[in-house]
Each structure stands twice: as structure tokens, then as C-alpha cells.
Structure 1
Amino acid sequence: MSLLTHMLACLFGIGSWVAINGMWVELPLIVHEIPERWCLPSYLTIIIQLANIGPLFITLMHCFKPRVLDERPIIYTIIVLGMLATFLLAYLWKHTLVVGGAEHSLALLSLTFLLSVVDCTSSVTFLPFMMRLQPQYLTTYFTGEGLSGLIPALVALIQGVGVVHCKNSTGMANFSMENSTWGSSGELQAHYQPANFSTQVFFLFLSVMMTVCLGAFLMLNHHPAMKQERKCKRSLGDAEHEVKVGINLSVKSSAPEQKPMLDPVDDGMKEPCSSFGKGTYSRAEVVFIFLVLGWVSALTNAVLPSVQSYSCLPYGNQAYHLATTMAAVANPVACFIAMFVPVRSLFFMGVLTATGTGFGAFIMGMATLSPCPLLVYHDLGAALTVINWVMFVLTLSYVKVIIGVILRDEGRSALVWCGAVVQLGSMIGAMIMFPLVSVYELFKSGDPCNTKCPK
């Protein structure tokens, strides 16, 4: 029964972010087929943050009417919506419309917004639902949430990316990217070799994953083994209550114990506990935890993803593909490490956050230098970019998991605020980056065949 519950919790966690994570790892094959091109990641980040209307509604309901809201009908609704949106995306992602005199991928952007509503709302509904189960299943859920990035990444690696060939615009020449030269017409065009299977198949796979998530959630609610487990949990709670009552009665019947005088010095050194959760942490520590969570969420969910194409594509389409997929693999690896090394030291958390921010600074620097970043014509440059992306996601994902475990111990409301702060930090990061990337165009895109950088 315990193994079954762990499996279902993991599959349920996979559905939390599998749709949007799948969209990110598929970007290397999408950006060359749609009008938005390199700006697509920036569009996606702002769309994802606009979808925070869902978490905002749930959070307000938890604040003002905590006993009215039942997250289970909401979870059913958003999972079914995710299934339908990914299915439609498989057939409509290439369709474009002219809006404001320019061609845009309206179907892709609209369906991505629906998927963003699904995944963002899962942050404030899936975690509170897990409070209905025993505490050990929360870590399994986080592992499944990490797998929501790993599984699409592995499928994307199998899918592969096409090798770029530079062809003369008149069709008279065909050169590889590394040896590209000017053709007789003076202009070369990039042609990408098809992947092992289409983007349509990939989106259908995401729809299947959302169906699996729905099945897991149905079993967590209605399988006889789950009902029996909840009954056992209540019985244990009643038994513990009886034991506590008996202890209290025995204490009252005995002579009162003489308490030693408190040391005024030691008592004064203790920091006052906050009213947050169970009062384990002081107010300053609670503020620090949520500031770190907001900062990490802004970097991992909005700031760096907005410039991912600018930091990777100058090194080639394969470097971009590897960076997106291997970074997605790093997320569940961090969750796996956190299962066995759950370090809760706030100092260690701060050190890891600073380290991950350093990796992010390198990535941002390469994006700023686009289309001619450091070592652009060397394999070392591509390797450093991929490694920095992996380490960036690995360190900061570990920080997020540890914060989730800490807040889990503080109670259900703490997990609701955890999801709200994650979305708030992501929204602020997206609002900062979107005008920089898409309005003021501070980051410059390149052409794999015609951009010339000094060696």
C-alpha cells in the first residue's frame, strides 16, 4: 500500500509542470518555425506570469474563506484543461495570424497561456492536497515534480535536433555551419535537418502524460487502499490523543513539580519566535526564507529562461538543445539529492543561493554579448554554457526543494504561501525581463550562417 501511494504521488507530481517544462525543452525546434524566433522565450515567460491569476484567486480564497475552498474540484478541472490544451497544441502550434500588422503564432501563445494557468495553479492546489497524505509522500511528490522536467527532456534528447546546413539563397551551394562561406549571391540561409520525430508527436506525448496524472489523482482520491490508509491515520491520531489524555490526568494527580529558576542571560539570548506556522523560526528567518524563495523563483522561472536562446544559440542549435534538456535533467537530480541529504541550514541555503546566482550571472553575461559571446567558435564555449546552465538549475532547484520541506513542517497554510511566493517572484522577474528583451531589444539575435564574429 505504501509503495502504491509513493508511485501515485510521483505520477501526480509529474503532471504539475510537465506541460510547460515540455514546452521549454521543445523550444530549440520551435523557434526556427514561427515568426517570434529568438524572442519566443521572452514571450513565454510573460505569458506564464499572466497566468498567475489562477494562483492569486486560490490564495485569496485561502486567506478570506479557508474552510470553503476544496482544492480537489479545481485539480480535476486544471488537469483536464491541460490534457485538452496539449492535444490542441499538437495540431495548431504552427498556425499564425496577422495581429497589429505583424504575423504572430496566436494559437501557440494562447494555448501556452492555458497550460500556464494549469501549471501555475498546481503550485497552490497540488501541495495543499498532499497534506491529506502522510508527510513522507511529500518528498515523493517533489521527486515527481522534478521528473516533470526530466521526462520531457529525455524524450527531447531522443527526438534530437537537426544539423544546421548553410545554403546559398539561389540554391547553388550547400555548406556545413562550421565551414560556411559567402555564396555567389552574398547571402546564406540556414536549413535545419528534421528531427527524429515531429513536434506534433511530442505535444501528443505531453497530453498522454497529463492523462496519466489524472489517473493518479483519481486513484489517490478513490482507490480503496488510499481510503484505508486515511482511516489508519485517523485511528492512530485517536490513539495518540487517548495516550496524551492519560498522561495529562496522571500529571494532574501527582504533586506539582518544582521548576528551576530560568537563567535570565540564556533566556534573553533566545530569539522571539514568529506567529508564522508553528513558530519554529524567528520573523527574520521567515523573511529570509521567503526572500530566497522569491529570488530563486525569479531567476529560474523568468529571468534566465527569457534569455536562454541568446545565451545558447550563438554556439549552435545542438548547444541550445543540450542546455535546455540537461538543465531539465538537473531538476529531478536536485530533488533526488534532497531526499537523502536534506540540509536545512539557512546559512548553507544562502551559500547555495549565492553560488547558483553566480552561474546565472555567467549565463546573463553570455546573453548580453550575443551574437558574439566568449569562445563562440570553440567547443569549450558551448561546453561552458551547457555546464553553467546545468549547475545553475541544480543548485537553485535544491534550494527550492529544501525550502518546500521546511515549509511543509510549518503546516498547510505555509505551503499555500510557498506557492504564492514562487509565482510572485516569477511574475516580478518576467515583468522586468519582457521589456528588456522584446521592447527595448537589449539582447541581439544572430544568424548561424551570416553572423561574423571576431576570432
Structure 2
Amino acid sequence: MALLIHILACAFGLGSWVAVNGLWVELPLIVNTLPEGWDLPSYLTVIIQLANVGPLLVTLMHKLCPGRLKENVVIYTILSIGILACILLVFFWHKTTIVAGGTYSTAFFILTFFLSLVDCTSSVTFLPFMMHLPANYITTFYIGEGLSGLVPGIIALAQGVGIAKCVNSSQTVANNTGEDVWFLQTEYLSPNFSTEVFFVFLTVMMCISLAAFVALNRLPRTAEPSTENLVPDTGASVSSGLDNPGVEAEGEAVKGQSEGAAQSRPLLDGPEHSLYQMIFIYLMVVWINAATNGLLPSVQTYSCMPYGNLAFHLSAALASVANPMACTIATFFQNRSLVFLGLLTTLGTGFGSYNMAMAAMSPCPLLQGTVIGEVVIVLSWLLFTGTLSYVKVMVGVILRDRSHSALVWCGAVTQMGSLVGSLTMFPLVNVYRLFKPGDFCNTYCP
């Protein structure tokens, strides 16, 4: 039964960010179809962060009507919305409309908003729901969350999105001589299957997550003997930790005393952290999510495309492998030292700084036009994602062992960091045009 719960927890985590992760790995194909082109990632980061209205509404409901909004109801609702949005993407992702004299992918943006609404709200509902399971299942949930990026990445690799080659082309000069001018032109190879089929895969993954959640709610109370009330019938409220953390801590202590010796340790029996340490932990959460969800994704096209479409394709697809890999490492090697996590955050920030620097140097970054340059940029994106993903997991484990409210606030701070990162980059990319695109086949870099 424990193995079954691990599988269900993993499948449940699969739906946490699968939709948004799927859009990112499909970008190498989408940016060449939709009118926004290379600026599309910066639009997406802002739209994704605007979807934080979901967590905001959940928080307001808990404050204005405490105890009325149940985790189960919210999770059922957002997963259903995610499935519907994925289905609509299959048919309308490429539709455009004229707005203020320009052509925009309004259908894609609207559906992306609803998918982001699902994923952002999951940050403040999925983790608190996992509090009803024993602590060892939280890492399994994170593995499932990591797979929400890995599985779309594998599908994108099989699809072969965005692969291109340079071919000779000619154009007649508009003069009396009628001579032809030869130049290189980027020619994109046809993918192995269409974007519509890819979105069908995302729909299936969302359905798997919903089915896993239904199964977790229907597990009998005797299914996991190490805890009482595995999933309470009444459905716990997200606000329980926010509204009265003291009562929650006391309840956990009483529960711990009433259980057997093997199960007697309450949540707060782990290492205590001072106020300054907690501030440091939450600052790490803010920075990591600002970097991974806002700052760097906005300029991924500018940092990778100058090295060629293959580099962009591999960095988008393979970087998603680093997330579940980091979660798996965290399962067997857990280091909760704040010094270690701080150093790892600094290391990941270094890789992110390199990626940002290459984006700023576009269309002529370091080692442009060389195999070494392509390998370095792909590895930099992998290590950037992997190191910071490990820190995310360990911070989640630390806060899970502290209290329910600590996890809820972790989700809120996560979204705050992501919002700050995306709002910082949008004007730099779309208003001030600090990042310059370049055609890999025609850009000359001395």
C-alpha cells in the first residue's frame, strides 16, 4: 500500500506544473509560428505571473470566510480547468487577432493564462494537501512535480521541435540588371508530430493527475498505518496554518504524544531555526523562483538561439530533465545545512548569470558558431536548473517539518518571487529592447 501511495503522490505532483512546463519545451516550435517570435517567452512570463490572482483569491477567501474553502474543492476545480484549457489549446493555439493595429496570439495568451492559473494555485493547495500524508511522501510529490517538466521534455525531444538548417537561397535585385543575390536562409525541418498532438499529451497528463488525486481521497483510513486520518473526509482548509499556527502546532504535538513510540515525533520536533534563519530561507525561495520562473526564462531565446536552433531545442528540453534528477538526488542525499544550500544557490546563480550575459551579448555571444559554445550554453542551463531545483526541494522538506503554515507561506513567497522576476524582465525585453535577436544563418560576428 505504501508503494501505491508513492505512485499516486508522484502522479498527483505530475499535474502541478505540467501545462506551463509543456509550453516552455514547445517554444522552439511555437516561436517560429506565432507573430510574437523571440519576444514570446517574455509575454509568457508576465501572463504566468498574472495568474497569481488564483492564489490571491484563495488567500482572501480564507481570510474573509475562514474554513469555508476546502483544499479538495479547489484542487478538483483547478485540475478540471487545466484539462479543459489543454483541450482548447489543441484547436485554437495558433489563432491570431488584430489588436491596436498589430497581430497577436490572443487565443494562446488567454489559454496560457488559465493553464498558469492552475499551476500557480497548485503552489498553495497541493503542498498543504500533502501535509495529510507522512513526511516521506513529500519528496515523492516533488519527484512528480519534476516529472511535470521531464515528460514534456522527452516528448519534445521525440517530436524534434525547432530543428533547422541553413540553405542557400536567392533573390532578384530590383534594378535593371535583374541579377540574383545569394544568401543563407533558415529552413525549419518538419517535426515528427504536430503541436496539436503535443497538447493532447499534456491533456492526458493532466487527466492522470486528477485521477491520482481522486484515488488519494478515496484511500481507506487504514491504508497507511503510520498516520491517522490520511485524508480527512471533511477536507482540510488551506487556511488552517495561516489563521492559527499556534493551535496547529499544539495539535500536532498532542497527536504525536498519542501515537506509538515509532510514530511519536511531531512535525516541530526537527531542528529549530531562528528568526534570521527563517528570513534567509524565505529570501532564498524568493530569489530562486525569481530567477527560474521570471528572469532567465524571459531571455532563453536570446541566450540560446544565436548558437542555433539545436542549442535552443536541447536547452529547453534537456533542462527539464535536471529538475526531476535533482528531486531524485534529494531523495537519497538530503543536506539541510543552510550554509550548503546557500553555497548551492550561489553556484546556480553563477550559471544563471552566464546565461543572462550570453543573452545580453546576442546576437554575438561568446563562442558563437562553435560546438564548444553550444555545449557550454546547454550545460549551463542544465546546471542552473538542477542546482536551484535541489535547493527548492530541500527548502520544501525543511518547511514541511516545521509546520503547515510554513509550507503555505512557502507557496505564497514562491509566487511573489516569480512575479518580481517576470515584471522586471518584461519592460527590458519588450519596451526598451535591450536584447537583440539574430539570425543564426546570416549573423556575422567578427
Q: Report the TM-score when normalising by structure 2.
A: 0.88
SS of the equivalent of 1:166 reads: strand
CA contact (8 A) 2:8 2:212 kept: yes
Residue 178 of structure 1: aligned partner: none
CA contact (8 A) 1:59 1:416 kept: no
Establish whether residue 415 from structure 1 lines up as the match of residue 407 from structure 2: yes
CA contact (8 A) 2:303 2:355 kept: yes
C-alpha RMSD of the superposition: 2.3
Residue 108 of structure 2: aligned partner: 108
Residue 166 of structure 2: aligned partner: 165
CA contact (8 A) 1:169 1:189 kept: no
Residue 449 of structure 1: aligned partner: 441
Instruction: Give 1:90 deviation, angstroms.
Output: 1.4
CA contact (8 A) 1:12 1:141 kept: yes
Specify which of 354, 358, 374 is matched with residue 366 of structure 2. Answer: 374
Specify which of 428, 431, 440 is matched with residue 436 of structure 1. Answer: 428
Partner amino acid, structure 2, of 1:105: S
Distance (whole Å) between structure 2 residues aligned to residue 342 and residue 93 of structure 1: 41
Identity %: 55
Residue 241 of structure 1: aligned partner: 258
The 5-angstrom pairing of residues 59-78 of structure 1 reads 59-62=59-62, 65-78=65-78
Distance (whole Å) between structure 2 residues aligned to residue 223 and residue 419 of structure 1: 26
Residue 286 of structure 1: aligned partner: 278
SS of the equivalent of 1:43 reads: helix
SS of the equivalent of 1:307 reads: helix
Establish whether residue 184 from structure 1 lines up as the match of residue 180 from structure 2: yes
Residue 400 of structure 1: aligned partner: 392
Specify which of 207, 211, 215 is matched with residue 207 of structure 2. Answer: 211
CA contact (8 A) 2:164 2:186 kept: no
Partner amino acid, structure 1, of 2:258: H
- Shift in alpha-carbon separation, 1:124–1:317, aligned structure 2, 3 A: same
Instruction: Give 1:412 deviation, angstroms.
Output: 1.1
The 5-angstrom pairing of residues 335-374 of structure 1 reads 335-374=327-366
CA contact (8 A) 2:362 2:436 kept: yes
C-alpha distance after superposition, 1:33-53 (max 9, x if no partner): 110000000000000000001
Residue 307 of structure 1: aligned partner: 299
Distance (whole Å) between structure 2 residues aligned to residue 209 and residue 220 of structure 1: 17
C-alpha distance after superposition, 1:332-367 (max 9, x if no partner): 000001111110000001100111111011000000
Residue 228 of structure 1: aligned partner: 222
CA contact (8 A) 1:168 1:184 kept: no
Partner amino acid, structure 2, of 1:11: A
C-alpha distance after superposition, 1:86-138 (max 9, x if no partner): 11111111111011110011111110010000000000000011111121111
SS of the equivalent of 2:364 reads: coil
Instruction: Give 1:239 deviation, angstroms.
Output: 9.4
Partner amino acid, structure 1, of 2:22: G
Residue 21 of structure 2: aligned partner: 21
Distance (whole Å) between structure 2 residues aligned to residue 189 and residue 157 of structure 1: 24
Distance (whole Å) between structure 2 residues aligned to residue 95 and residue 185 of structure 1: 35
Instruction: Give 1:56 deviation, angstroms.
Output: 1.6
SS of the equivalent of 2:116 reads: helix
What 5-or-longer segments of structure 1 have no aligned partner? 173-182, 245-275
Residue 199 of structure 1: aligned partner: 195
Residue 425 of structure 1: aligned partner: 417
SS of the equivalent of 1:377 reads: coil
SS of the equivalent of 2:363 reads: coil
CA contact (8 A) 1:59 1:420 kept: no
SS of the equivalent of 2:313 reads: helix
SS of the equivalent of 1:124 reads: coil
Distance (whole Å) between structure 1 residues aligned to residue 392 and residue 68 of structure 2: 29
Instruction: Give 1:68 deviation, angstroms.
Output: 2.9
Which deviates more, 232-241 or 125-134?
A: 232-241
SS of the equivalent of 2:228 reads: helix
What 5-or-longer segments of structure 2 have no aligned partner? 174-178, 231-253, 262-267
CA contact (8 A) 1:167 1:191 kept: no
CA contact (8 A) 1:277 1:414 kept: no
Residue 52 of structure 2: aligned partner: 52
CA contact (8 A) 2:2 2:224 kept: no
CA contact (8 A) 2:166 2:184 kept: no
SS of the equivalent of 1:134 reads: coil
CA contact (8 A) 2:12 2:144 kept: yes
Distance (whole Å) between structure 1 residues aligned to residue 61 and residue 256 of structure 2: 33
Instruction: Give 1:60 deviation, angstroms.
Output: 3.6
Distance (whole Å) between structure 1 residues aligned to residue 128 and residue 60 of structure 2: 14
Residue 385 of structure 1: aligned partner: 377
Establish whether residue 134 from structure 1 lines up as the match of residue 134 from structure 2: yes
Residue 260 of structure 1: aligned partner: none
Question: How many corresponding residue pairs?
Answer: 411
CA contact (8 A) 1:299 1:426 kept: yes
CA contact (8 A) 1:45 1:302 kept: yes
CA contact (8 A) 1:278 1:411 kept: no
Distance (whole Å) between structure 1 residues aligned to residue 88 and residue 229 of structure 2: 46
Partner amino acid, structure 2, of 1:340: F
Partner amino acid, structure 1, of 2:122: S
